[in-house]
Amino acid sequence: DAGVIQSPRHEVTEMGQEVTLRCKPISGHNSLFWYRQTMMRGLELLIYFNNNVPIDDSGMPEDRFSAKMPNASFSTLKIQPSEPRDSAVYFCASSFSGQGINSPLHFGNGTRLTVT
C-alpha cells in the first residue's frame, strides 16, 4: 500500500498563474478530502468527494478554486488565478465510507504552495 500520493511536493509560482495539485487516493477508498493548512488557521477542509461526486465544497474559499475527481484513483485541485494569500500546504486525504462506518483518514504528505 503506497498510501495517498500527492504531487508536486513543492510548487512555487507567480501571482496570476494557474496551479494544479494532484492526488491519488488509496485503492479501495471511496472518500477523498482536500485540506489546506496554514499557521494562522490550522487544517481547513476545502472539499469532500464521495464515490467521485463532490458532496461538500463549502470550504472552498472562492471561485478561483476548483476540484475534480474524474475517477476513483485521481483528483485535482486547481487555483486560477493564484494569489499570494493562497500560499499554504495543501493535503489530500482518503478514507472508506459506507456500511455505517468510516475508516480513519489517511493523508498524503502534502504540496507546499508558494505564490509570489
Partner 1 sequence: DAKTTQPTSMDCAEGRAANLPCNHSTISGNEYVYWYRQIHSQGPQYIIHGLKNNETNEMASLIITEDRKSSTLILPHATLRDTAVYYCIVRRRNAGNNRKLIWGLGTSLAVNP
User: Can you give the binding site for partner 1, defined by CB under 8 A?
Assistant: 4, 31, 33, 42-43, 45, 48, 50, 55-56, 91, 93, 95, 97-102, 104-110
Mapped onto helix, strand or coil, the DSSP state of residue 84 is helix
Long-range contacts, stretch 38-46, CB < 8 angstroms, 24+ apart = 38/88, 38/89, 43/91, 46/77, 46/90
The minimum distance between CB 21 and partner 1, in angstroms, equals 13
- Measured from the CB atom, is 82 or 91 closer to partner 1? 91
The minimum distance between CB 92 and partner 1, in angstroms, equals 8
- Measured from the CB atom, is 21 or 93 closer to partner 1? 93
Q: With 0-12 CB in 10 A as exposed, 13-18 as middle and 19+ as buried, what is 72?
A: middle
The minimum distance between CB 31 and partner 1, in angstroms, equals 6
